[in-house]
Structure 1
Amino acid sequence: MNTQQARAMLADAEVIHSAEAVNATLDRMAAEIRDRLSESYPLVLCVMTGGVVFCGQLLTRLDFPLDFDYLHATRYGPETQGGKISWRTAPWTPVKGRKVLVVDDILDEGVTLAAVKESLLRLGAEEVLTAVFSDKLNGKNKPLAADFVGLTVPDRFVFGFGMDAGGAWRNLPAIYAKKDEA
């Protein structure tokens, strides 16, 4: 994708959730996570690359001690349809005996997040909780439900606030959907 194509895609997109709705949701989620984890000194793991925008903004709202690390597992790469899971980076921080919060951008089919959770439990995590900013209403039987959910999005190709469209627009403060996909 080039600059002109990216700008054309955004110009033809529909706002699904405004920047104001995104910020209010971040505040709500931080309060829910604080209520559940503030006394446990959790390990927060960001799922790269999509989770970085959400995780970064969420972390600034969590006013309790925690450790932070990341992992990189994906089913997408440059594609818009999910494929085989690719493990790129495991967390460097040991998870054994820890409460772990895995933070990701979207719960689409749930296969990647379920595999991450299962792997962390096998590595000895005491408990693995999941936080996703967006839960796609796709009608599919997902292998897990996130413990903390920000906003729901329709079963369309969405982008912004960490989610990309052909590599572009992760940096948008709102969530958009392509109009050409209903």
Structure 2
Amino acid sequence: MMDTQQARAMLADADLIHSEQAVQAALDKVADEIRQRLAESYPLVLCVMTGGVVFCGQLLAKLDFPLDFDYLHATRYGPETQGGKISWRTAPWTPVKDRTVLVVDDILDEGVTLAAVKESLLRMGASEVLTAVFADKLNGRNKPLAADFVGLAVPDRFVFGYGMDAGGAWRNLPAIYAKKEAA
């Protein structure tokens, strides 16, 4: 974890990738798309901790239809990441059986963990699992899934803000930044 001075210096040296206005416009767009797709299904919305909390919290306030809410915390572990195995730090408390589930996360980077979460929820009996990510990293990799709802694309750089942290700091920023690239 970095100290206050280090965190402030990193932000001062970072590149702005998406402004607060662009973030809010993308949030509105995703909320509209989700509303059109899920308004009649009474979905279960699952926030992926910890990165998804900012996006999910602001998104929920824009979804004007009945839904249930819960969270999950899952991580890949050990040498078995190729198989998509995940370790549940906290599984959802709300039953997913026969439900339409919307999993909300901050960023789709490689997609392995989110794909494994989706697969696990389907095994738990969810009738449908959709995914919403605020940022989709354009890293050129063949990802195991494409998110159903995407806020913004981000470059293949270390990004932070709007739920994404840098050394534990700056999840709370209303815009998205990238660390300076080495010259």
Q: Partner residue of 1:42?
A: 43
Tell me the secondary structure at the aligned position of residue 112 of structure 1: helix
Q: Partner residue of 2:119?
A: 118
Distance (whole Å) between structure 1 residues aligned to residue 161 and residue 103 of structure 2: 20
Q: Partner residue of 2:18?
A: 17
- 1:163 maps to a residue whose letter is M
TM-score (ref. length: structure 2)? 0.93
Change (3 A) 1:110 1:56: same
Distance (whole Å) between structure 2 residues aligned to residue 168 and residue 95 of structure 1: 33
The number of residues matched between the two structures is 175
TM-score (ref. length: structure 1)? 0.93
Matched-pair contact (CA < 8 Å) for 1:157–1:181: no
Tell me the secondary structure at the aligned position of residue 65 of structure 2: coil
Tell me the secondary structure at the aligned position of residue 5 of structure 1: helix
**Structure 2 gaps, min length 5:** 78-84
**Structure 1 gaps, min length 5:** 77-83
Q: Partner residue of 2:30?
A: 29
The CA deviation at 1:73 is: 1.2
- 1:45 maps to a residue whose letter is L
RMSD of equivalent CA atoms: 1.4
- 2:60 maps to a residue whose letter is L
Distance (whole Å) between structure 2 residues aligned to residue 72 and residue 25 of structure 1: 25
Distance (whole Å) between structure 2 residues aligned to residue 134 and residue 90 of structure 1: 23
Q: Partner residue of 2:105?
A: 104
Task: Give identity over the alignment, percent.
Answer: 86
The CA deviation at 1:90 is: 0.2
